Amino acid sequence: EGNGSTDGPFINLGFTPEWVVIRNQADGEWWWQLDSTRDPYGNLVTEVMYANANSVESGIGSSGGIDMLSNGFKVRGTNTGMNGSGQIMFYMAFAEFPFKYANAR
């Protein structure tokens, strides 16, 4: 659930995300796709791609972004599409190193 603040919610994933998709469940909102390839320094990720827009990619600008952390991500954006106050968000996250700790035999 969003809080509409630049000190947004922390999502504990248990892994470092490489790619995160966030979408407000409200109709008409965009699909925010953020990754550590376009912003390789981890914090503050502000380069975004929109899956349902004509633009290829863009910068979020003053409305924030996300911090990609060792165990999840923290929303720093105030835009309603990624952190609307009291609104339910959908997210997907994919690990940077998904098999780093696997015990394959």
Instruction: Encode pLDDT of 41-100 as tens digits.
Output: 657 888 888 888 877 788 887 778 899 998 999 999 888 888 999 999 999 999 987 766
Q: For residue 102, what pLDDT is reported?
A: 55
The CA radius of gyration of the chain, in Å to the nearest whole number, is 14
Cβ atoms 74, 8 nearer than 8 A: yes
Please determine, for residue 25, whether its predicted confidence score (pLDDT) is greater than 60: yes
Residue 37: pLDDT band (50, 70, 90) is confident
Which residues lie across from 49 on neighbouring strands? 33
Q: Per-residue pLDDT for 104 more than 60?
A: no
Q: Give the global pTM.
A: 0.85
Whole-number pLDDT of residue 4: 92
Instruction: Name 5's Cβ contacts closer than 8 Å, sequence gap at least 6.
Output: 78, 83, 85
Residue 44: is the preceding peptide bond cis (ω within 30°)? Answer: yes
